[in-house]
Amino acid sequence: MGEAMLSAILGKGLSLPRDIAVSDISEARRQHLEQKYGVVVMSDNRQAIKRGEVVVLAIKPQNLAGVMAELSGQLKPAQLVLSIIAGATIKTLSSGLKHNRVVRAMPNTPAQIGEGISVWTAASEVTKQQRGWASSILSAIGKEIYLNDEKYIDMATAVSGSGPAYFFLFVEALVEAAVDIGLQRDVAQEVVLQTMLGSGHLIQKSGKEPSELRRMVTSPGGTTAEALLELEKGEFANLVKKAVSAAYNKVKKLGGERI
């Protein structure tokens, strides 16, 4: 996700390569980023944060404690910290970094192609200008939604953050089902993917609710009705609710473990 943001920032002209410093523990990774994007690379986080007005934290949750210990008290008061770490609350980040200008965001994997959705919020100390910076960075990787209450970030993590995996799983299952009844795999893949894309665009452009569109395509006693009956027997909607609830409870637990 960090590289997706880097690529978008440069692609949208929000910054120049020479003005961006990237810190990574992997030498191979540093070489890749330097060669592909022309940015300044280093292995020292403390040195990296000295260069910019915005510090993006794009690390795994299990590495956060170590990074916070390293950077605690090292940030300039006017710098903005933009975190995309799942479960890491503003309170945790502010306390661990000894810094109060923090934005917390949850983008998702379609950000890699500029089609992501990011839900974000900001500490009260973040200035209007800095909120504008955060909005511009997140807009570069797709759509962005600002919410005043931080509690919604964990909810978004369970829906949009994890959501692509739910979608990919459904596509996998539908392709396999198509192959099982006799379609060639390459044909099944194309048919399923275009069905998913077209259906999503139809929801966006028709102005109709998904439930209404579902009823429109479901003729009484028809093939779609028969298929939906099987999904209902398997409690498909309830399984989705359970999955989202499990993800939501997990991200809350991740946040609680750091407080």
pTM: predicted TM-score of the whole model, two decimal places: 0.88
Q: What is the mean pLDDT of the chain?
A: 95
pLDDT at 161 over 80: yes
Fold of 163-255: ProC C-terminal domain-like fold (1.10.3730)
- Residue 21 to residue 144: CA distance in whole angstroms: 24
pLDDT at 258 over 50: no
pLDDT bucket at 254, cuts 50 / 70 / 90: confident
- Predicted confidence at residue 256, as pLDDT, reads 65
Percent of the chain with pLDDT over 90: 93
Closest CA to 105 of 71, 152, 172: 152
Chain centre distance of CA 231: 28
Closest CA to 149 of 78, 92, 89: 89
Domain boundaries along the sequence of the chain: 2-151, 163-255
- Residue 161 to residue 194: CA distance in whole angstroms: 23
Give 203-235 pLDDT, tens digit per residue. Answer: 999 999 999 999 999 999 999 999 999 999 999
Percent of the chain with pLDDT over 70: 98
- Predicted confidence at residue 226, as pLDDT, reads 96
pLDDT at 255 over 80: no
Closest CA to 55 of 99, 16, 121: 99
Give 41-84 pLDDT, tens digit per residue. Answer: 999 999 999 988 999 999 998 899 999 999 999 999 999 999 99
- Predicted confidence at residue 205, as pLDDT, reads 97
Domain 2-151, CATH = 3.40.50.720
pLDDT at 259 over 50: no
Give 106-119 pLDDT, tens digit per residue. Answer: 999 999 999 999 99
130 by Cβ neighbours in 10 Å (0-12 / 13-18 / 19+) ranks as buried
- Give the range among 72-81, 177-186, 246-255 with minimum mean pLDDT: 246-255
Give 8-29 pLDDT, tens digit per residue. Answer: 999 999 999 999 999 999 999 9
- Predicted confidence at residue 117, as pLDDT, reads 96
